[in-house]
Structure 1
């Protein structure tokens, strides 16, 4: 878990300004710290330098958009993250061992390797099958207690149990458990996935880690099954449904809203929510 509030604040700042030239000085100044001191605490908390973290997120976000924005020019996606065409191709290839054009051509519409089970392939349904299960809905803002993590999604179960135990006094009948995901594990190294685990609370809750998750328009898919199958469903929604739906994902990030969890069998009922415009 990332416990330093300034590091959490700096990550929010970085994600909000990925389409700009962000320097270490910019981030340190935003947190009112010297760049040398801030660089040390950032790396201690995340395991990465600020520079490496920013470049990685730019490459991962752009790779995700190459998958789902099939009609947008590669050069335009590179420009969105501050890269000229030749520079973007060079940096992307160095980071992913493949050029942006090859990456886009190779992105699967029927299946994708499962990084959590190396001997398995995640196979997708058709667009029509996903589309009949997706509803478009406006969600209200959520006031939540929030903890941020960088690591493997496989650790989510333990992290959730620890989180629920820590905040059990805040649980009510209408409490929602929510994950906010910032990483696509088909693009991001699985031990570097960034995500928040959250619990809805009253607006007057005095905990230091209370924040608001923006609502708005979402495409919502009700998932009812094994935790191990969530990756396949999410990849199908992005690679097949979103890429062909006519909708685009906006600057918000995806949410998972839990309705029930069977810890013994690791089965869940949850809404997979994609923010759209």
Structure 2
């Protein structure tokens, strides 16, 4: 399944949900923010995303809390659950129902040198040491990016096809200094690869007349350069999130990361790209 979110209403509602996911947020809150009735909004959201608003909010709470369990090693499971509106016992049962593993077991499983690969059933992702990642990471300031974008919910396995269609659609916008950027909101080791939310972006001039122009804010980022086979991207980037970030002293300041492509060789299936994590 791959869905392109074309409705500005639904884009805004998803942004609102992501910004307020650690609050007591209801369908009514989202519908009121969008200035529509609860019933009309709920129908439009389900038709556009394939998921009810309630299911989306509940799933996002479970997945964002799992990411915090992964990244915030010193934060208690109870405190993380409470921050998403759950009591200690309710959080544990809801988490286990969604992830098929308890929060404590999930956190323990994060502290290993290998992990299952969500894209290749016969492969394992193997991680390096903190020092090996730290030597390759640069803390830097990035400028704002003016981009045209498409927001997708769907299978990461279709990413190559989606990029090909996107670049063909906007071929006339491509210049020598154009950057292709992926803005990803989900961790595919936590979120089902069939439900990952991401945006395909291409840098453009500020005066671009297209309707789907947005600004990705700049600021402080941790930048990790990857050069290699596409099939090895997951292991490299998971290592940064699983090994480096929790021990680095930094925290994510946004709910997304950026993949900035520097070179792509479709024939050899190799890429050069920068993983950029907004940090504070």
TM-score (norm 2): 0.96
Matches of residues 93-132 of structure 1 in structure 2 within 5 Å? 93-132=96-135
Distance in 2 separating the partners of 1:186 and 1:4: 28
Aligned to 2:86, the other structure's residue is in SS state coil
Equivalent of 1:173, from 166, 176, 198? 176
RMSD: 1.1
Aligned to 1:154, the other structure's residue is in SS state helix
Distance in 2 separating the partners of 1:106 and 1:125: 16
Match of 1:269 in 2: 272
Aligned to 1:21, the other structure's residue is in SS state coil
Task: Give deviations 1:35-89, integer Å, cap 9, x for gaps.
Answer: 1121112111111100000111111011011011111111121122222222211
Equivalent of 2:86, from 83, 86, 89? 83
Aligned to 1:28, the other structure's residue is in SS state helix
Aligned to 1:8, the other structure's residue is in SS state helix
Higher mean C-alpha displacement, 199-208 vs 162-171: 199-208
Distance in 2 separating the partners of 1:33 and 1:73: 38
Q: Does 1:164 align with 2:167?
A: yes
CA drift of 1:163 comes to 0.7
CA drift of 1:108 comes to 3.5
Count of equivalent residues = 277
Distance in 1 separating the partners of 2:24 and 2:203: 34
Unaligned 5+ segments in structure 2 are none
Match of 1:219 in 2: 222
Matches of residues 223-238 of structure 1 in structure 2 within 5 Å? 223-238=226-241
Q: Does 1:257 align with 2:263?
A: no
CA drift of 1:169 comes to 1.2
Match of 1:146 in 2: 149
Unaligned 5+ segments in structure 1 are none
Equivalent of 1:67, from 67, 70, 75? 70
Q: Does 1:135 align with 2:143?
A: no
CA drift of 1:170 comes to 1.1
Q: Is the 8 A contact 1:109 1:240 kept in 2?
A: no
Q: Does 1:193 align with 2:189?
A: no
Matches of residues 41-52 of structure 1 in structure 2 within 5 Å? 41-52=44-55
Q: Please list every run of at least 4 consecutive aligned residues from structure 1 whose deviation after the TM superposition is greater than 6 angstroms.
A: none
Q: Is the 8 A contact 1:65 1:77 kept in 2?
A: yes
CA drift of 1:141 comes to 1.1
Q: Is the 8 A contact 2:185 2:255 kept in 1?
A: no
Q: Does 1:25 align with 2:28?
A: yes
Distance in 1 separating the partners of 2:6 and 2:220: 31
Distance in 1 separating the partners of 2:157 and 2:87: 37
Distance in 2 separating the partners of 1:193 and 1:28: 23
Aligned to 1:222, the other structure's residue is in SS state strand
Q: Is the 8 A contact 1:176 1:257 kept in 2?
A: yes
Q: Is the 8 A contact 1:145 1:210 kept in 2?
A: yes
CA drift of 1:206 comes to 2.2
CA drift of 1:252 comes to 4.0
